[in-house]
Chain A
Amino acid sequence: MPDTNLPRRMTGHGEVIETSAPIGDAMKTTTCYMCACRCGIKVHLKDGRVRYIEGNPDHPVNRGVLCGKGSAGIMTQYAPSRLRAPLKRVGPRGSGEFAEISWDEAMEIATGWLKAVRETDPKRLAFFTGRDQSQSLTGFWAAQFGTPNFAAHGGFCSVNMAAAGLYTVGGSFWEFGEPDWEHAKYFVMFGVAEDHDSNPIKIGLGQLKARGAKFVSVNPVRTGYSAIADEWVGIRPGTDGLFIMALIHELLRTDRVDLDFLVRYTNAHWLVVRNPGGADDGLFARDADGKPLAWDRARGAMDAATPEMQPAIVGEHVLPDGRTAVPVFQLMAERYLSRDYAPDAVAERCGVPAATIRRLATEIADIAFKHTVTIEQPWTDTLGRRHERMVGRPVSFHAMRGISAHSNGFHTCRALHLLQMILGAVDVPGSWRYKSPFPRPIPPGPGPAGKGAKPNTPLAGNILAFPHGPDDLLVHDDGSPIRVDKAFSWDAPLALHGMMHTVIGNAGAGDPYEIDTLFMFMANMAWNSAMNPGEVIRCLTETKEDGSYRIPHVIYSDAYFSETVPYADLILPDTTYLERWDCISLLDRPIGNAHGPGDAIRQPVIQPDRDVRGFQEVLIELGARLGLPAFVKEDGSPRFKDYPDYIVNHQRMPGVGPLAGFRGEDGTKKGVGEPNKDQLQRYIENGCFWKHHLPPEQLYFKHANRAYLDDAKAMGLIGKADQIVLQIYSEPLQKFRLAAQGHGAKQPPDAATRARIATYCDPLPIWYAPLEQQGHDTAPFPLSAVTQRPMEHYHSWGSQNAWLRQIKGANKLYMHRLTAHKLGLAQDDWVWVESRNGRVKGQLALMDGVNPDTVWTWNAIGKRAGAWNLSPDSPEATRGFLLNHAISEWLPAQVADARRFANADPVTGQAAWYDLRVRVTKCAADEIPVTDPHPEALQRPPGLAAAPSIVREPGA
């Protein structure tokens, strides 16, 4: 690059340029938290202020790059909306009347409320932690407290992806897997605007493009990643399942199926009992030890895991006990070969021509079967067989909320995994790969904790875990839900991440019961994470006859003046990501990738200039004050001095703690080892992360790779080193269905629930019209309405950042040019977006790259006036609009007395944001050009100074 020996140069018109000035006077590494991607950053400081944040080139997540948000972190650090001290509500909820109080007082108030709950009925605490990156601590704390009512934001986020993946392939898209960016020759992305893997996806797309691989994006909107796709498939929202099943249909029809892969690595050959009406119908045929059976062509029924057997994949077989059974493959093939899934049958509904579907199937098959990738690397499988090389089918898939945020998303995502399996494209070179610590057993671990909650008693186990069947559900004997959000109940048996979107509504309605304290962290529930903000605000402010609030206590920890702050009774102001310790743990959402597991920390790089405390610190102290067993010593004194002390010394199981790196007294152990008092120092020296690089023989086939599984077990990533057999046919789902058909001790309580479970707990992927659209007349609402994340904003909190809000200060409703023409609408027209539930006013923008039956807008750009310390005339509050006002958290009632089901996936409880149907009409000429609903402006809390009108140097 440019050469110079002169540090200072005279150039141009006599100007002296300092070309070699040091960036700052100090540099510290830490982990970015402008989003959940967890990139490594180097923070340069000058005179105690942040001067420049750059990507850490050594970091495995981002390898030196930063996104648009990460690069603007400096302006979030210095945002004038940062809360300054604990606040106690002194006026009515929502009035914004607060008094600043000391931390001592705040802790006393919180302890008082929580102690009373714990001593009487711990489930009356609902602890929901939103966009939490410390769930291994918060979940553990909740279990110690003894309430089953804990979850983070996953239920309204992407649990469909997590659940479908974990119950099918033992990993998932989203955060537990990634495409083989180095080898894929064909990459299909479904419904992704940005995702959590923000920078890795961008780096990967750059790599794909450089190699000339083909990139197909299936998305109703052609922006962002879809814009650089070689082919854009502008699908109609909610129909991906049909589209994928049509691809499967084509592959089956033309026998382009990797049968070897199927019988080696999936349950394709496992036998399913055929006994219509019987209690065992649809369950796997098993031997006396419970091992699933397959049919060997020579020897008949035998352990499906037997090496070298010749399994039959079709045919009806009579088991030794006389029952008949058919292989999974046959059930699968029968279903998807049906004409219902032929391209011609789905084309119209998907908005994708049949010829395109056929061509895509052809291209995928061609790459998978004729352009294999071979890596000359021997490996050994779980049966002890050595393979000389790794041969892969270089077709990769990735999917996220475009599939996930629909009420049919669980099955659609399972269908996509099925497509991967029949192509033999799971963790092979060129395909989608597991990110360590995945794969995990299917499903992983025991069922969720939460039964038998008692005063002053911790719950044993994980609150968010994996039901294997009806017995694991959190329901009372009468079938009613144990959890206030109804997760793990018959309403949503696989609600692995809880259902944060129903908590406030349920608590407000006392359905299934009322709660005492709502304790939230980092979730803007009164605005963008509510499916219907007006209703959430109503529940939060609703009083009983005696004038007391229906939800008596609300504690909230935010770092900024968000829309939710005014609705809490007690505010525990958090630090910013540059001011605190954090732990990005293998027990929660680590930073592993296909090359190996990893985890990371945040260290404080600057001192807070306000009276704020890290939430984790506060939680640990609350734990001690409440006497939660794991947080106090025998004598009742606090067990942990502070959060770093917890990170280093807490052990979940012997040798297993929050951080997996540098364990053992000398810091040489990985995964399992005694606590190391220098552990954090070692992380800091290493750039605030730890990464274990898998040896080349462990890089693929992890689900059946002997060396990988043994090492993963040794490191504590998995409990057993057995082969993880991918599940085309899901037995746990069939168990729920059998219960709905009247078998077993635990059954759905009423007809409506019974019907739902029987229909939607199908053990093979199905497609159905989104529930919201089944439940009401959609004819008056002809358009689908979805949102997309803007790459440079993170949900609601980008707008307090003076730079990011210049890029997007307001959002418009995007519509296809031809659709607008038909509706007589023009660019920049003010329009009403009306759904069955409500309406919201915004401005129109026209484009070509959108499905003609779909409208969309940027997520969470619209803000409530006054929030975030923005002046009420800001574009965010006047022209920006929040689509959530038109969404409902409940499905349309079908009959007058129908019980209320969440507007969610019936299997996982995933909020169905993108099932929304709307009509768009032009505002009357006399309607003012300001968004509507436009709730009154929020008052700045005490202590928060008015924002400056000009920013010269950040933080100055």
Chain B
Amino acid sequence: MTELPPPSAKKLGLVIDLDTCVGCQACATNCKEWNTGGHLGPLPDLHAYSAGAEGVWFNRVHSYEAGEGEAGRTVHFPRSCLHCETPACVTVCPTGASYKRAEDGIVLVNTDTCIGCGLCAWACPYGAREMDEDEGVMKKCTLCVDRIYNETIPEPQRQPACVITCPVGARHFGDLGDPTSKVSRLVAERGGYDLMPEMGYAPVNKYLPPREKPAMKPASLEEAAPTPLDIRNPLLRWLDRALSR
């Protein structure tokens, strides 16, 4: 049913740290690799070896420049489904193929019933829906539902593929409905924010902003050791320095 379930207590999602993301694309390719053989796979690639190559990806990494001059920054910015709390991608779906799970809030597509109308993609502000033009159905980030609950995978690795692979540790997974969870605390401490809050979709995923430069207030070297260059021989000060090996 594409009517939204009552808000779940558990809100599984990702927290992405823009302060540490180096834009390495590991999350994007690892996601593709896991998911092409996973629940919503395959993730086909059209014109794979010629002009116009394009495929289905659940995670895409942009880069931006923000601010000017000294304050300017380059920011790498991974973008995938935010598993919104009030996502119109679900409610607009005419078939019920698009749904939000009552138990953990994961937004999924049932590719057995999807007609590939594309309306949910229109409804998603974040561009998180991916049309599989080969199969004619809509696909999207599953939050790796086939990993995070997978008992055949060792417990510590039961996390989304993009999270376990991220080399700098810029991606975190957990229950954002639980204020005491590691991810919720991260969001609180680092000022995690929503993308396009004005759209009213209430994304579950949060982004952590680039941090301020660490404050450094060392005493100036001038005050510490004034040794004007024009004294006749600056080496003299080391002449009588008692050193011991």
Direct contact of A and B (CB under 8 A): yes
Check if B26 is an interface residue, CB within 8 A of chain A.
Answer: yes
Contact between B47 and A205 (Cβ–Cβ < 8 Å)? no
State in angstroms the CA–CA spacing of A288 and B159 once bound together.
Answer: 66
Assign chain B's interface to a size class: 35 or more
> In chain B, residues 169-205, which have Cβ atoms closer than 8 Å to a Cβ of chain A?
169-170, 173-175
Partner of B25, one of A4, A17, A51, A807: A807
When A1-B148, A21-B150, A230-B214 are in contact, do A202 and B22 touch as well, CB less than 8 Å?
A: yes
Q: DSSP majority for the B interface?
A: loop
Question: What is the CB-to-nearest-CB distance from A568 to chain B, in angstroms, rounded to a whole number?
Answer: 23
When A15-B110, A874-B50, A949-B47 are in contact, do A792 and B239 touch as well, CB less than 8 Å?
A: no
Check if A802 is an interface residue, CB within 8 A of chain B.
Answer: yes
Question: What is the CB-to-nearest-CB distance from A586 to chain B, in angstroms, rounded to a whole number?
Answer: 25
Contact between B245 and A311 (Cβ–Cβ < 8 Å)? yes
Q: Which of B37-45, B80-88, B122-130 contacts A (4 or more CB under 8 A)?
A: B37-45
Partner of A309, one of B51, B101, B244: B244
State in angstroms the CA–CA spacing of A310 and B245 once bound together.
Answer: 6
Check if B140 is an interface residue, CB within 8 A of chain A.
Answer: no
- Chain A minimum-CB-distance residue to B132: A952
When A11-B101, A228-B22, A792-B29 are in contact, do A18 and B39 touch as well, CB less than 8 Å?
A: yes
> In chain B, residues 139-174, which have Cβ atoms closer than 8 Å to a Cβ of chain A?
145-146, 148-153, 155-159, 161, 164-170, 173-174
> In chain A, residues 800-829, which have Cβ atoms closer than 8 Å to a Cβ of chain B?
800, 802-807, 809
- Chain A minimum-CB-distance residue to B102: A11
**A residues whose Cβ falls under 8 Å from a Cβ of B:** 1-2, 4, 7, 9, 11-15, 17-23, 46, 51-55, 57, 62, 64-72, 74, 80, 198-199, 202-203, 205-206, 209-210, 212-214, 222-228, 230-231, 250, 252-256, 259-260, 263-264, 269, 297, 306-315, 329-330, 333-334, 337, 339, 342, 358, 361-363, 365-367, 370, 383, 791-792, 800, 802-807, 809, 847-849, 869-871, 873-875, 878, 947-954
State in angstroms the CA–CA spacing of A818 and B136 once bound together.
Answer: 46
Chain B residues contacting A315 (CB-CB under 8 Å) are 239
Chain A residues contacting B235 (CB-CB under 8 Å) are 314, 330, 333-334, 337
Chain B residues contacting A309 (CB-CB under 8 Å) are 244-245
Q: Mark B2-39, 1 if CB is under 8 A from A, else 0.
A: 10000000101000000111111110111011101101
When A12-B101, A203-B167 are in contact, do A873 and B50 touch as well, CB less than 8 Å?
A: yes
Could you write out 9 A-B pairs with CB less than 8 Å apart? A55-B164, A227-B22, A263-B243, A337-B234, A803-B55, A806-B54, A807-B25, A948-B49, A950-B134
Check if B76 is an interface residue, CB within 8 A of chain A.
Answer: yes
- Chain B minimum-CB-distance residue to A849: B74
Contact between B216 and A363 (Cβ–Cβ < 8 Å)? yes
Which 10 A-B pairs rank lowest in CB-CB distance, beginning with the nearest? A366-B218, A947-B49, A68-B25, A202-B167, A12-B99, A871-B50, A227-B74, A71-B30, A206-B168, A792-B25
State in angstroms the CA–CA spacing of A791 and B148 once bound together.
Answer: 27
State in angstroms the CA–CA spacing of A875 and B167 once bound together.
Answer: 29
Chain B residues contacting A875 (CB-CB under 8 Å) are 51
Contact between A848 and B216 (Cβ–Cβ < 8 Å)? no
State in angstroms the CA–CA spacing of A367 and B112 once bound together.
Answer: 61
Contact between B166 and A297 (Cβ–Cβ < 8 Å)? no
Question: What is the CB-to-nearest-CB distance from B203 to chain A, in angstroms, rounded to a whole number?
Answer: 19
Contact between A51 and B37 (Cβ–Cβ < 8 Å)? yes
When A18-B146, A339-B229 are in contact, do A952 and B42 touch as well, CB less than 8 Å?
A: yes
Chain B residues contacting A213 (CB-CB under 8 Å) are 214
Chain A residues contacting B210 (CB-CB under 8 Å) are 228
- Chain A minimum-CB-distance residue to B146: A19
When A66-B167, A333-B235, A806-B55 are in contact, do A23 and B152 touch as well, CB less than 8 Å?
A: yes
Chain A residues contacting B46 (CB-CB under 8 Å) are 949-950
State in angstroms the CA–CA spacing of A66 and B33 once bound together.
Answer: 12
When A13-B110, A52-B34, A337-B234 are in contact, do A952 and B44 touch as well, CB less than 8 Å?
A: yes
Check if B138 is an interface residue, CB within 8 A of chain A.
Answer: no
Chain B residues contacting A68 (CB-CB under 8 Å) are 24-26, 28-30
Residue of A22, A46, A213, A230 contacting most chain B CB atoms (<10 Å): A230
Chain B residues contacting A21 (CB-CB under 8 Å) are 146, 150, 152
Contact between A805 and B229 (Cβ–Cβ < 8 Å)? no
Tell me how many residue pairs across A and B have CB atoms closer than 8 Å.
323
Contact between A214 and B51 (Cβ–Cβ < 8 Å)? no
**B residues whose Cβ falls under 8 Å from a Cβ of A:** 1-2, 10, 12, 19-26, 28-30, 32-34, 36-37, 39, 41-42, 44-51, 53-55, 57, 63, 65, 68, 72-76, 96-97, 99-104, 108, 110, 112-113, 134, 145-146, 148-153, 155-159, 161, 164-170, 173-175, 210-211, 213-214, 216, 218-222, 224-225, 227, 229, 234-239, 241-245
Chain A residues contacting B21 (CB-CB under 8 Å) are 228
Contact between A214 and B26 (Cβ–Cβ < 8 Å)? no
When A19-B145, A223-B23 are in contact, do A256 and B225 touch as well, CB less than 8 Å?
A: yes
Contact between A199 and B151 (Cβ–Cβ < 8 Å)? no
Chain A residues contacting B72 (CB-CB under 8 Å) are 222, 848-849
Contact between A254 and B224 (Cβ–Cβ < 8 Å)? yes
Question: What is the CB-to-nearest-CB distance from A769 to chain B, in angstroms, rounded to a whole number?
Answer: 25
State in angstroms the CA–CA spacing of A362 and B33 once bound together.
Answer: 47
Question: What is the CB-to-nearest-CB distance from A279 to chain B, in angstroms, rounded to a whole number?
Answer: 27
Question: What is the CB-to-nearest-CB distance from A170 to chain B, in angstroms, rounded to a whole number?
Answer: 19
- Chain A minimum-CB-distance residue to B239: A314
State in angstroms the CA–CA spacing of A259 and B243 once bound together.
Answer: 7
Chain A residues contacting B29 (CB-CB under 8 Å) are 68-69, 71-72, 792, 803-804, 807
State in angstroms the CA–CA spacing of A68 and B21 once bound together.
Answer: 13
Chain A residues contacting B76 (CB-CB under 8 Å) are 227
- Chain A minimum-CB-distance residue to B12: A2
Partner of A791, one of B23, B49, B54, B224: B23
Partner of A953, one of B1, B37, B108, B218: B37
Contact between A362 and B26 (Cβ–Cβ < 8 Å)? no
Partner of A849, one of B65, B150, B158, B168: B65
State in angstroms the CA–CA spacing of A15 and B1 once bound together.
Answer: 11
Contact between B243 and A370 (Cβ–Cβ < 8 Å)? no
Contact between B227 and A255 (Cβ–Cβ < 8 Å)? yes
Contact between B151 and A7 (Cβ–Cβ < 8 Å)? yes
State in angstroms the CA–CA spacing of A301 and B196 once bound together.
Answer: 74
Contact between A214 and B150 (Cβ–Cβ < 8 Å)? no
Residue of B22, B57, B234 contacting most chain A CB atoms (<10 Å): B22
Chain B residues contacting A15 (CB-CB under 8 Å) are 99, 108, 110, 112-113
Contact between B221 and A362 (Cβ–Cβ < 8 Å)? yes
Residue of B75, B161, B244 contacting most chain A CB atoms (<10 Å): B244
Contact between B146 and A802 (Cβ–Cβ < 8 Å)? no
Chain B residues contacting A254 (CB-CB under 8 Å) are 221-222, 224-225, 227
- Chain B minimum-CB-distance residue to A297: B242
Chain A residues contacting B41 (CB-CB under 8 Å) are 953
State in angstroms the CA–CA spacing of A802 and B236 once bound together.
Answer: 66
State in angstroms the CA–CA spacing of A177 and B34 once bound together.
Answer: 34
Contact between A253 and B22 (Cβ–Cβ < 8 Å)? no
Contact between A206 and B170 (Cβ–Cβ < 8 Å)? yes
- Chain B minimum-CB-distance residue to A875: B51
